[in-house]
């Protein structure tokens, strides 16, 4: 009986590892980091093959099937959590503030973030859109700066993959 439980735990652990790596690899692929994605893919598949070999040899134990599924679910959570901690890549933030555009731009610039202001026209008249492109790891800091000045500012955040040129603040 102890062998069955240890086998199920081994399967869960292997699935947690390969799915964590796979989730992270997918994010690397999206960000165009092909060599890192290749290394991650190698490790992911190698672990997966060992897990599958063990499961196929022990398929008569139903607990192993549940262990496989449990490892898959936990692996997704761990992979996303790991990527959030590392925060690879860049994001573009668009900010619309009804009254504090200049104050937000000044605060961001004094914190070494580049800000571009674009005139815009909304249903209530003229306004300015602030655009900044930052490293994802700086996102929390930038959101705090904005929220301290205007907690009701309209903010959108999308992933950005710079093509060329200099991103102000990326060498902080």
3-state secondary structure 86-105: HCCCEEEEEEECCCCHHHHH
Residue 136 · residue 90 · CB < 8 Å: yes
CATH hierarchy code of domain 90-160: 3.30.70.120
Higher confidence at residue 135 or residue 167? 135
Collapsed DSSP state (helix, strand, coil) of residue 19: helix
- What distance in Å separates the CA atoms of residue 52 and residue 68, rounded to the nearest whole number? 9
Collapsed DSSP state (helix, strand, coil) of residue 106: helix
pLDDT digits (tens, 9 = 90+) for 96-116: 998 999 999 999 999 999 999
pLDDT digits (tens, 9 = 90+) for 53-82: 988 888 788 899 899 999 999 999 999 998
| Domain residue limits, the chain | 2-86, 90-160
pTM recorded for the entire structure: 0.69
User: pLDDT at residue 50 above 80?
Assistant: yes
Residue 10 · residue 47 · CB < 8 Å: no
> Average pLDDT of the chain?
90
């Amino acid at each position: 009986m102890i062998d069955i439980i240890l086998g199920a735990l081994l399967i869960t652990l292997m699935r947690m590892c390969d799915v964590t790596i796979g989730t992270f690899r997918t994010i690397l692929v999206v960000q165009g980091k092909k060599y890192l994605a290749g290394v991650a893919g190698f490790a992911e598949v190698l672990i997966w093959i060992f897990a599958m070999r063990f499961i196929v040899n022990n398929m008569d134990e139903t607990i192993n099937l549940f262990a496989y599924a449990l490892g898959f679910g936990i692996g997704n959570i761990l992979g996303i959590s790991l990527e959030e901690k590392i925060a690879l890549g860049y994001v573009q933030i668009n900010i619309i503030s009804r009254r504090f555009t200049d104050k937000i731009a000044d605060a961001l610039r004094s914190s070494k973030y580049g800000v571009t202001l674009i005139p815009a026209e909304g249903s209530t008249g003229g306004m300015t859109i602030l655009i900044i492109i930052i490293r994802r790891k700086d996102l929390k800091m930038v959101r705090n700066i904005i929220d301290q000045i205007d907690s009701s500012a309209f903010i959108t955040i999308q992933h950005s993959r710079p093509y060329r040129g200099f991103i102000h603040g990326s060498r902080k």
